[in-house]
Structure 1
Amino acid sequence: MRRFTDSEVLSGIVHEALGSETRVVGVDRLRGGSKKGVYRVHTSGSRTASVIVYSWAEAENFWPAAEAVDPAHPFAPASGLGPFLAAQRKLDGLGVRVPEVLLADDSRRRHPADVAVVEDVAGGTLEALLKTDPARASNAVSELAAMLDVMHQQHSQHYGRVDVLERGDRASGDSCEQLVLERAVDDLAEAAEREPGIGSAATSLHDRLQELAARVAPRAQHGLIHGELGPDHVLVDASGHPVLIDIEGLMFFDVEWEHVFLQLRFGDQYPALFHSGLDPARLDLYMLAMRLSLVAGPLRLLDGDFPHRTAMQEIAEHNAKEALALLDS
């Protein structure tokens, strides 16, 4: 049975971040995290009523262990205090709103894992706001579009996660499109074993991937992308401004990879985030690759004991249908 971070440990971490006069009056483990534990800690006697604590403990990671993964690979699991802090520094330096870091600790003195205490952005997710207050959400989406423009206009000749490039390492592979193709072929093989519809069309899907990849021309520069930016990874603060979270995967890559994910996750709101100049050939390849990833990934997560199983199964089934539909497009 998994043992999550307990209240006593969280209290010690919060005291260190906010001062010994702070009293912890409640702890909520927030739903949704699959690679780290996310806790809202309610306090009294401090300058803030609550904070968020991230715990990168092994027991908080629901993903099955991957075999022989190159940690510098852009698609390697992005988790841990190092990637988080590198991403936070980069985005904060660009003026892109992210939660303030109150404490970052990799000493393992209080807890046998890396932890961070960050600002609790009180306004909830953009995903929820789109349902409850569309007008206010529309303003936040417009601001998000401006933030993304700032990010995507940051250019690098090298692709890779920010923490990898920051320490002077190089990401593996020959090009973004080649990495996407290789991952898509692996995802297709994995999905074909688990999802009957994908299995019956595996040869056609493989041929389609190769055909789309052959249309992509080389590129020398890459933009800064979040990598998994849905409305659930955007908070809205008390003033209505968007705040990016789950930023560990921040990397320089083809911005088209970001845009296909934005299109899938924002749906009717996506036109407000679209900008001209995207490469249609990359969009076509990356859309099919993303669909296959969203079949294989959720099914892989279900190999373990991830608790929200129905939602993951629905994601896999929906994206399997959409991937097959792309064969006819």
Structure 2
Amino acid sequence: MRQFTDSEALSGIVHEALGAGTRVAGVDRLRGGSKKGVYRVRTSGSRVASVIVYSWAESENFWPAAEAVDVTHPFAPASGLVPFLAARRRLDGLGVRVPEVLLADDSRRRHPADVAVVEDVAGGTLEALLKTDPARASTALSELAAMLDVMHRQRSRHYGRVDVLERGDEASGDSCEQLVLERAVADLAEAAERDPGIGSAAASLHDRLQELATRVAPRTQHGLIHGELGPDHVLVDASGHPVLIDIEGLMFFDVEWEHVFLRLRFGDQYPVLSRPGLDPARLDLYMLAMRLSLVAGPLRLLDGDFPHRTLMQEIAEHNAEEALALLVQ
């Protein structure tokens, strides 16, 4: 049975962050995290009514263990306090709103894993706001577009996660497009074993990936991207401003990789985020690669005990259909 962080351990962490007079009134484990535990801790006797606690304990990670992971690879699992703090420093320095950190601790004194106590942003997700208050969501979406402009205009000759580059390491691989192609080929092989439709079209999909890759011209500059930015990874604060979360994967990479994901996740709202000047050859390759990733990844997650199984199955099935549709375009 998987063991999650208990209230007693969270109490000690919250006391340290907010002061000894703080009392824990309740704890809720929030839905959605697959690599870390996310807890809302309600308090009394402190300056804030609640905080969020991130726990990067192994027991909170639902992904099957991978063999021989290259930690410098841009697509290596981005999890832990180090990438979180590096990403937060970079975004905060750019004026991009992220939750305030009240405590960051990797000492393991009060908790058996890296842990952070952060601001509980009160307004919920942009995803929810788009359904309940479209007018307010529209303002936040426009601000998000401006945030992304700031991020994507940051330039680096080197690609890779910001924590990797910050410590002076180089990311593996020859180019962004080559890394995407290699990952897509691996995702295709994995998906072909699990999804009959993908399996039947595996040869055609492989040829299509190779064809699209030959159209991509070399590039020497890369932008700063979130890497997995859907409306569920954007909170809206009490003043209506967007706040980015799940930032551990922040990296310098082709901005087209970001835009492909934005297009998939924001749907009809994507035109607000779209920008001119994107490379159509990269967009074509990255869209097919992203679809295959969203087949293989959810099915891999289902190998374990991830609780929200119907959702993952639906994501895999939908993206398998979309990947196959790209063969006839």
Deviation at 1:111, TM superposition (A): 1.0
Corresponding residue of 1:187: 187
What residue is the counterpart of 2:42 in the other structure? 42
Q: Which residue of 2 aligns with 1:207?
A: 207
Matched residue, 1:148:
148
Partner SS, residue 38 of structure 2: strand
Amino acid at match of 1:316: A
Ranges of 4+ aligned residues in structure 1 off by more than 3 Å:
none
- Residues 234-259 of structure 1: CA deviation (Å, up to 9, x unaligned): 00000100000000000000000000
Q: Deviations over 1:89-118 (max 9, x none)?
A: 000000000000000000000111000000
Query: What SS class does the counterpart of residue 182 from structure 1 fall into?
Result: helix
**Structure-2 separation of matches of 1:111 and 1:37:** 13
1:227 aligns with 2:227: yes
Root mean square deviation of aligned Cα: 0.3
Distance in 2 (alpha carbons) for counterparts of 1:32 and 1:141 = 22
Query: Helix, strand or coil: the match of 2:27?
Result: strand
Alignment-derived partner of residue 4 in structure 1: 4
Letter in 2 for 1:168: G
Structure 1: distance between partners of 2:134 and 2:197: 37
User: Aligned with 2:307: secondary structure?
Assistant: coil
In 2, Cα distance between equivalents of 1:69 and 1:51: 33
Alignment partner of 1:73: what SS? coil
Alpha-carbon deviation of 1:69? Answer: 1.1
Q: Which residue of 2 aligns with 1:87?
A: 87
Q: Quote how far apart the aligned CAs of 1:36 are.
A: 0.1
* Alignment of 1:161 onto 2:124: no
CA distance in 2: counterparts of 1:142 and 1:226, whole angstroms? 17
> 1:164: Cα distance to partner?
0.1
**Separation (CA, whole Å) in 2 of partners of 1:212 and 1:277:** 19
Query: Does 1:287 pair with 2:287?
Result: yes
Per-residue CA deviation, residues 187-218 of structure 1 (Å, 9 max, x unaligned), is 00000000000000000000000000000000
* Cα-to-partner distance string for 1:54-95 (whole Å, 9 max, x where unaligned): 000000000000111100000000000000000000000000
The SS at the match of 1:52 is strand
In structure 2, C-alpha distance between the alignment counterparts of 1:33 and 1:240, rounded to whole Å: 24
Separation in 2, partners of 1:220, 1:87: 22
DSSP 3-state at the match of 1:38: strand
Provide the C-alpha distance between the structure 2 equivalents of 1:8 and 1:78, rounded to a whole number of angstroms.
28
2:270 aligns with: 270
Gaps of 5+ in 2: none
> Offset at 1:179?
0.0
* Percentage of identical aligned residues: 90
Taking the aligned partners of 1:110 and 1:195, their CA distance within structure 2 comes to 44
Alignment partners' CA distance in 1, 2:271 and 2:328 = 24
Normalised by the length of structure 2, the TM-score is 1.00
Q: CA separation in 2, counterparts of 1:194 and 1:26? A: 41
Q: CA deviation at 1:158?
A: 0.1
Q: TM-score scaled by structure 1?
A: 1.00
2:292 and 2:140 mapped to 1: Cα distance? 30
Partner Cα distance (1:145, 1:2) in 2: 39
Count of aligned pairs between the two proteins: 329
